Structure 1
Amino acid sequence: MNIIETNKLTKSYSDFMAVSNVDLHIRKGSIYGLLGPNGAGKSTIMKMFLGLMQPTSGSFTIDGKSYPTDRLKILSEIGSFIEGPAFYGNLSGEENLEIIRKILGLPKSSVSEVLDLMGLTEHRKRLAKKYSLGMKQRLGLAGALIGKPPILILDEPTNGLDPVGIHEVRNLIRYLPKKFECTVLISSHLLSEIELMVDDIGILNHGQLLFEGTLDEFRYSAGEKGYSTDKLEDTFLTMIEEDNRKRGAIR
């Protein structure tokens, strides 16, 4: 069963096609990796799901609800982490989460629960501006998770982290579907950062979907096309380079 589906989803500007006729199929309870280089359209798709951008054409449904008719109902089911976490630096991590808790009308226990889940309990009184980058990312995830939403949209949550930070965040995300019975949509420009946690991937380049399926299906499909599949990160990059060459030839 798919919890998110798009039908020819498109976002264009006067002289630029950000997303072009994209059909995504995101399975309920899965971790879905939206992959592509910077400018491929990943963030644009996520912002359309969150109602921050309006599609030029096409449509999408989330948990059986259609945009824009059910926009508010859709938003009530989504926790998001877009373009890095934004906090009040002069408030503690706990105080920042308390603001979100009050806005959402959640019980007081929600803050302590999510701080514990993210491993931030001992740092809860520290000012957010004094958090390390990894701690800020975890605080951002805590803010997205506090309402236990059935859908999480995470835009490059490992961006800027060192290998240890990437490992920490990756382990946390991999644990979420079982813990909260949720679906996770995560974007990245590096397959190597997310391949150990995703169930399915969608590869975007210049706003178009080049591939969608499991990692095993990606490996098989790439092998059929003559790509080396020893390292999937290299396979992914080769696919993008080949698509760029084709586009150059067409122009």
Structure 2
Amino acid sequence: MNIIETHNLTKTYGSFTAVHHLNLHIKKGTVYGFLGPNGAGKSTTMKMFLGLTRPTAGGFLINGLQYPKDRMTILKNVGSLIEEPAFYGNLSGRENLEIIRRILKLPKNSVDDALELTGLTQFSNRPAKKYSLGMKQRLGLAGALLGRPPLLILDEPTNGLDPVGIHEIRSLIRSLPEKLGCTVLVSSHLLPEIELMADDVGILNRGRLLFEGSMEKLREEAAMKGFPSDNLEETFLALVDEDNRKRRHMQ
């Protein structure tokens, strides 16, 4: 069963195509790694799922609901962390989450629940401006987890973190499907991180999907093409390089 399906999803800005006939299949209860060089169209795709930008053509389903018809219901079922989380620095972590909880009209205990899930309970009354970068990312994740949505969309959640912070966020993301029964769509340019946390991956280059499937399937396909298959970074670079070469020949 897929929680996200896209059907020829396309986004153009003038003559530039950011996302081109994209067909994704994201299974329920998995961590799906969304990979691609900068400008590949990952963030644009995620913003379409969140209703922040409208598709030019094609469409998508989230949990069986259709965009744009069921837009409001979709948004209630999705938690997200896109770009850097923004907080009121003078308010505590708890107070920041309380604002989000009220906007979403969630039960009062959902703040304690999100703080516990992200390991922030003991720091909940500290002003957000005194949080380390890793703690701020965890607070962003806590905001996304409020009300335990069935789908989380996380754009570069380990950006700018030190190795300890990266490990903490990775472990947390990896544990969520089992703990909450949710699905996580996570983009990153840190490929070894994706390798350690994703069940399936989708590789995007210049708006087109080059590969979708399990790590095992990716290794098999890479080996068949004579590409490096024991290191995700090298496999990814070989796939993108091959696609760029093909495009140059077509021009």
Give the TM-score range, shorter chain.
over 0.9
Q: Which amino acid aligns with 2:56?
A: T
Match of 2:153 in 1: 153
Task: For residue 190 of structure 1, report the CA deviation from its aligned partner.
Answer: 2.6
Q: Which amino acid aligns with 1:35?
A: L
Distance 2:129 2:153 in 1: 24
1:196 is paired with a residue whose SS is helix
In the alignment, structure 1 residue 18 sits paired with structure 2 residue 28? no
Task: For residue 123 of structure 1, report the CA deviation from its aligned partner.
Answer: 1.2
Q: How many residues align?
A: 251
Q: Is the 8 A contact 1:36 1:190 kept in 2?
A: no
Matched ranges for 1:61-140 at <5 A = 61-140=61-140
Identity %: 67
Q: Is the 8 A contact 2:201 2:215 kept in 1?
A: yes
**TM-score normalised by L of structure 2:** 0.97
Distance 1:189 1:245 in 2: 21
Distance 2:131 2:9 in 1: 38
Return 5+ residue gaps in structure 1 as ranges: none
Q: Is the 8 A contact 2:219 2:230 kept in 1?
A: no
Distance 1:37 1:127 in 2: 36
Match of 1:168 in 2: 168
What do residues 110-141 of structure 1 show as CA deviations (whole Å, max 9, x unaligned)? 11221122111121111111211100100000
Q: Which amino acid aligns with 1:118?
A: T
2:144 is paired with a residue whose SS is helix
Distance 1:94 1:78 in 2: 21
What do residues 182-210 of structure 1 show as CA deviations (whole Å, max 9, x unaligned)? 11111112321111111110000000000
Q: Which ranges of 4 or more aligned residues in structure 1 deviate by more than 6 Å?
A: none
What do residues 42-73 of structure 1 show as CA deviations (whole Å, max 9, x unaligned)? 01011000110100000100111111111111
Query: Which moves more between the two structures, 82-91 or 41-50?
Result: 82-91
Task: For residue 245 of structure 1, report the CA deviation from its aligned partner.
Answer: 2.3
Task: For residue 242 of structure 1, report the CA deviation from its aligned partner.
Answer: 2.1
Match of 2:249 in 1: 249
Q: Which amino acid aligns with 1:61?
A: L
Return 5+ residue gaps in structure 2 as ranges: none
Q: Is the 8 A contact 1:98 1:111 kept in 2?
A: yes
Match of 1:190 in 2: 190
Q: Which amino acid aligns with 1:197?
A: M
Match of 1:231 in 2: 231
Distance 1:164 1:213 in 2: 29
Task: For residue 104 of structure 1, report the CA deviation from its aligned partner.
Answer: 1.6
Query: Which moves more between the two structures, 230-239 or 149-158?
Result: 230-239
1:217 is paired with a residue whose SS is helix
